[in-house]
Chain A
Amino acid sequence: NAGVMQNPRHLVRRRGQEARLRCSPMKGHSHVYWYRQLPEEGLKFMVYLQKENIIDESGMPKERFSAEFPKEGPSILRIQQVVRGDSAAYFCASSPTPGARSGNTIYFGEGSWLTVV
């Protein structure tokens, strides 16, 4: 998972505040995914983005959550008015442009741990 950079690694927010999680994909990767992991659970898909486009947001909660991947800069996962149930590890992953030699394998970052107090 070297190369997918996430920050912050740990974030503490009070209920009602906003959380912003950032992700820079691996060099040469134009596809970004966000996953959420609750304690002792597998990773659950949230959203899939390419530059400036949301491709699949079927796993995103309908309210308070949004994601973007602008032309310049990292992808951002934004959680507004956080609640205790938002406490989880949020992982970003990236994959290369279709047709790249390395195939379409998805590589993960080290995660951002959000704690809502």
Chain B
Amino acid sequence: GQQLNQSPQSMFIQEGEDVSMNCTSSSIFNTWLWYKQDPGEGPVLLIALYKAGELTSNGRLTAQFGITRKDSFLNISASIPSDVGIYFCAGQTGANSKLTFGKGITLSVRP
């Protein structure tokens, strides 16, 4: 089945640093989404990407939809303590089709 790969499992950065996370797939997706999940909460949508090559920003977050449609990255600039959480990438093949999730990256930010 389709799988999304996110690594490493955990990242530790200093407050103020930038961080980049990758997500790769063995198969093509037509939509890529990045979610953040805090403990005991549901995933919150950060950025949605709908076109290969697309680069989209949301505040300090920037994400790109890879040109091959098999990867995406998320960049967080000038990290702050509230960026702590689990970041999931998700791919979707068609409109309203199910999402396939990566296993997530746990981000820790040292003050």
Contacts and interface: CB of A to CB of B under 8 A. Distances in A.
Interface in B88-107: 88, 90, 92, 95-104
B66 to A, nearest CB: 19
Contacts of A33: 98-99
Interface residues of B, number: 25
B58 to A, nearest CB: 13
B31 A104 contact: yes
A56 B98 contact: yes
B33 interface: yes
Given A42-B103, A43-B90, A98-B95, 19 more contacts: A1-B42, A1-B44, A4-B42, A6-B42, A33-B99, A42-B104, A43-B99, A44-B101, A56-B97, A56-B98, A58-B98, A103-B48, A103-B50, A104-B92, A104-B95, A106-B99, A108-B44, A110-B42, A111-B41
Interface of B: 4, 31, 33, 35, 40-45, 48, 50, 88, 90, 92, 95-104
